[in-house]
């Protein structure tokens, strides 16, 4: 069992620019929802949402957001953002998920929807660009074991 109830998010369909769990979420919409459940209100980025499939804009959004709201950490804690380079050159971030403990993360994909996967799966591990702790004031309610 994970530290916060997220089971109801599993299977929510992927929708580009999606921000409503009742209609569908994109990867950042899911990140926003999971962090909201931990007491964090992440900012919206409407330009990035309109251009969710634009590789360059996604990376600019990540770079801008990282410097303002996130601190890179070496080992994942609960919750933390996981940044991925998914089918793009290394160093270009275009996908995100949330570490939920016990070596697992939640994210959403176009044909799959919201799902939980292992950060230790070689297919995902090689795509991880970094782990990030939110610097916005929130109620980080976890034991922060970050077990993998």
Q: Domain residue spans in the chain?
A: 7-134
β strands within 46-127, DSSP E: 70-73, 80-84, 95-101, 104-109, 113-118
pTM of the predicted model as reported, rounded to 2 decimal places: 0.83
Domain 7-134 has CATH 3.30.360.10: no
Report CA 10 to chain centroid distance, whole Å.
Answer: 14
* d(C-alpha 44, C-alpha 80), whole Å: 17
- Structural tokens at position 33: 């929802």
Per-residue pLDDT of the chain (148 residues; tens, 9 = 90+): 455 689 999 999 999 889 999 999 999 999 999 999 999 999 886 555 455 556 666 666 666 666 778 899 999 999 999 999 888 888 888 889 999 999 999 999 999 999 999 999 999 999 999 999 999 876 655 444 344 4
In the chain, DSSP finds a helix count (H) and a strand count (E) of 4, 8
């Amino acid at each position: 069992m994970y530290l916060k109830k997220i089971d109801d998010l599993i299977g929510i369909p992927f929708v580009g620019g999606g921000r409503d769990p009742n209609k569908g979420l994109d990867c950042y919409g899911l990140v926003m929802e999971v962090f909201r459940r931990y007491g964090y209100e992440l900012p919206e980025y409407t330009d990035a949402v309109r251009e969710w499939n634009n590789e360059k804009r996604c990376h600019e959004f990540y770079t801008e957001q990282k410097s303002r709201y996130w601190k890179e950490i070496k080992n994942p804690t609960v919750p933390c953002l996981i940044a991925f380079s998914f089918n793009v050159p290394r160093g270009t971030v275009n996908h995100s998920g949330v570490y939920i403990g016990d070596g697992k993360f939640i994210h959403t994909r176009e044909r799959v929807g919201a799902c939980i996967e292992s950060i230790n799966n070689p297919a995902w591990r090689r795509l991880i660009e970094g782990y990030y702790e939110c610097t916005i004031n929130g109620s980080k309610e976890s034991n922060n074991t970050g077990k993998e």
